[in-house]
C-alpha cells in the first residue's frame, strides 16, 4: 500500500508542501503543476505527464530502449516525429546519445508507458537552439511511448551480491558515524537493484528485502546527517513496501519534527504507537514532541501578540 493509504489512517494530518532541497527529485517525481505535469527536477526544467501507465520497474542507466515519439514546440507544432517516419527510435539510457531531458525523463518511465516530457532549454538545445525549427532557449515537449526495453547485461544474481556487499560496507561507515560515506554507498547499492527484470521469484523476494533494508538504513543515515527532507523521502520509500514499519514511522516523525511539522510528527508517532503499543521509546518521544509542539505554539502566540499590540500579553 502506498503513502496515501497510510495518510488515510492519520486522523489529523498536517501535510506540508516542503520544497525539495536537492535538484533531482525521486523517480516518482515531486509536486504537480497547474497543467498536470509532475516535476522531475525541483526547478521545473524537466516535467512529465503520464498519458498511459506502464508496467514493471523504471529504467537504469544502460537500458536499451525502443520508442516512438513526437516532438512539439510551445505552440503545439510538431517539429519531429518517429511516427510520421514510421520508424521507431532506439538509444541507450545514460550514455549521452540523446538530449539530457530524454536521458533523465525516459529513465523514469516503464515498459509500455506513454508520457509527455516537458524539457527546459538547459536539458534540450540550450541557448543555440537547432535551426531551422527550434529557436534559442526553447522549451520542448515530447510525447514518448516505450515500445520495448532491454536491461543491462549484468546478471541479477551479480547485482544482488554487489548490493549486499555495498550494504555491509555502508553499515561500517554508519557505525563509525561517517554518515556522508554511508549515504553515498547505500544510494549506489539501491541503484544496483533498481530493477528486477528476469528475476526468479526467490530473487524478487531477495531484492525487495534488500531494498527495504537499504532505504531504512539510508533514512537513518540522512537523519543523523541532518538531511531531513531526504530522510523523509527514504522513510516513505520504506513505508511503500511495509506500511507498518515502526522504525520508518519513528524516523519520519523525527525528521518532520526537525522540519517544524509538529502535527505530522505527532501523527506518525501515534500510528507507530498503534502498531507497537508496548514500545516505551515511542511513548516517550510522543510525549516529548507534544510538549515541544505546545511550547512552539505558545512562543508563536507571544510573537503574534507582540506584533499586534507592541508588547507581550500576560
Catalytic residues: 69, 79-80, 99, 125, 142
Task: Name the nearest CA neighbour of 163 among 208, 133, 199, 129.
Answer: 208
Grid cell at residue 288: 516529548
Torsional class of 137: left (φ above 0), alpha (ψ -120 to 50), beta (otherwise): left
Grid cell at residue 76: 503545439
Task: Name the nearest CA neighbour of 208 among 166, 272, 160.
Answer: 160
Amino acid at each position: 500500500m502506498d503513502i496515501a493509504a497510510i495518510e488515510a489512517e492519520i486522523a489529523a494530518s498536517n501535510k506540508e508542501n516542503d520544497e525539495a532541497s536537492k535538484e533531482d527529485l525521486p523517480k516518482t517525481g515531486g509536486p504537480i503543476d497547474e497543467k498536470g505535469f509532475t516535476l522531475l527536477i525541483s526547478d521545473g526544467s524537466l516535467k512529465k505527464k503520464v498519458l498511459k501507465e506502464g508496467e514493471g520497474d523504471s529504467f537504469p542507466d544502460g537500458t536499451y530502449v525502443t520508442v516512438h515519439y513526437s516532438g512539439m514546440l510551445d505552440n503545439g507544432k510538431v517539429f519531429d516525429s518517429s511516427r510520421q517516419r514510421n520508424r521507431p527510435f532506439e538509444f541507450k539510457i545514460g550514455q549521452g546519445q540523446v538530449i539530457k531531458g530524454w536521458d533523465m525523463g525516459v529513465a523514469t518511465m516503464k515498459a509500455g508507458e506513454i508520457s509527455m516530457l516537458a524539457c527546459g532549454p538547459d536539458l534540450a538545445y540550450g541557448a543555440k537552439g537547432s535551426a531551422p525549427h527550434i529557436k534559442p532557449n526553447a522549451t520542448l515537449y515530447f510525447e514518448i511511448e516505450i515500445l520495448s526495453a532491454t536491461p543491462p547485461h549484468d546478471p541479477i544474481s551479480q547485482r544482488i551480491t554487489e548490493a549486499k556487499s555495498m550494504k555491509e560496507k555502508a553499515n561500517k561507515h554508519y557505525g563509525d558515524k561517517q554518515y556522508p560515506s554511508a549515504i553515498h554507498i547505500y544510494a549506489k547499492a539501491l541503484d544496483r537493484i533498481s530493477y528486477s527484470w528476469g528475476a526468479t521469484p526467490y530473487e524478487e523476494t531477495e531484492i525487495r528485502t534488500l531494498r527495504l533494508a537499504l532505504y531504512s538504513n539510508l533514512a537513518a543515515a540522512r537523519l543523523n546527517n541532518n538531511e531531513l527532507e531526504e530522510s523523509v523521502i527514504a522513510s516513505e520509500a520504506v513505508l511503500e513496501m511495509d506500511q507498518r514499519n515502526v522504525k520508518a514511522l519513528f524516523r519520519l516523525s523525527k525528521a518532520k519534527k526537525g522540519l517544524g511539522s509538529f502535527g505530522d510528527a505527532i501523527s506518525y508517532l501515534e500510528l507507530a504507537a498503534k502498531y507497537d503499543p508496548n514500545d516505551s521509546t515511542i511513548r516517550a518521544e510522543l510525549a516529548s514532541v507534544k510538549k515541544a509542539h505546545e511550547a512552539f505554539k505558545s512562543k508563536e502566540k507571544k510573537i503574534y501578540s507582540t506584533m499586534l499590540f507592541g508588547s507581550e500579553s500576560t
